[in-house]
Amino acid sequence: DAIIDYLPPPCPAASTSLSMHAFKCVYDPQKGFLVYVRVYSGSYQAKTLLLNSTLGLQERPSKLLQVYADSFEEVSELGPGSIGVLIGLKHTRTGDTLHSPYTKEKPVTSSQSTGLAIPPAVFFCSVEPESASEEPKLAFALETIQREDPSVRVRHDPETGQTLLAGIGELHLEIVQNRIRRDFRVAADFGRVQIGF
């Protein structure tokens, strides 16, 4: 009943233009960025040009995969209601909407695909690499984490000259800090967690 009540149906009466929602982005050291998508309408052919309507940018995936537990299978097409993984997207983030750049028809969206309502990130701490050689690794880690998790914010404070890492809670920031050290192998120093009122 919950599936019928809450998930958008890929019915034939709906629009035939392609519309997909990127509901999860994950960085894999071997495959690169994996963008998990759900097709809401139309069908997607592998390696076809896409328009990220959230950012207003065109993207061309290099591979289309279907996921079976921890294994991936390359496929040529995803139909309505299907879930798949796109590889090779350069800018797409969690929560973005993708559709065909060639259609004049308005793409189908759901409440989930119209953007995520992210609460403000009020917990923050400073972050800096332990050495100059760690700077590029830290920059890559921060950019990757922001693509995966839209509630993480990174900004430069012009008054102090510090890079500030912000999240929605102390535990959230602790998890991000651990990922930077463990998953990305960055030697970085983090300041005390503070709250912006």
Q: Would the pLDDT of 112 be above 50?
A: no
Q: Is 103 helix (H, G, I), strand (E, B) or coil?
A: coil
Tell me the residue type at 5: D
pLDDT digit string, tens, across residues 115-163: 567 888 899 999 999 999 999 999 999 999 999 998 999 999 999 899 9
Provide Rg for the chain, Cα atoms: 19
Question: What is the mean pLDDT of the segment spanning 82-95?
Answer: 93
Question: What is the mean pLDDT of the segment spanning 91-95?
Answer: 92
> What gap in Å lies between CA 13 and CA 9, rounded to an integer?
10
Q: Is 177 helix (H, G, I), strand (E, B) or coil?
A: helix
Confidence (pTM): 0.79
Cβ atoms of residues 94 and 147 within 8 Å: yes
Grade residue 70 by pLDDT with cuts at 50, 70 and 90. Answer: confident
Cβ atoms of residues 56 and 89 within 8 Å: no
Of 90 and 111, more confident: 90
Tell me the residue type at 120: P
Which of 104, 106, 34 shows the shortest CA–CA distance to 63? 34
Q: Would the pLDDT of 109 be above 60?
A: no
Q: Which residues of 149-170 are buried (b: 16+ CB within 10 A; e: fewer)?
A: bbbbbbeeeeeeebbbbbbbee
* CA dist 3 → 6, 7, 8, 63, 182 (Å): 5, 5, 9, 29, 37
Q: Would the pLDDT of 12 be above 60?
A: no
pLDDT digit string, tens, across residues 14-66: 557 899 999 999 998 888 999 999 998 889 999 999 999 889 999 999 999 99
Of 133 and 196, more confident: 133
Sign for the pseudo-dihedral over CA of 157, 183, 60, 94: negative
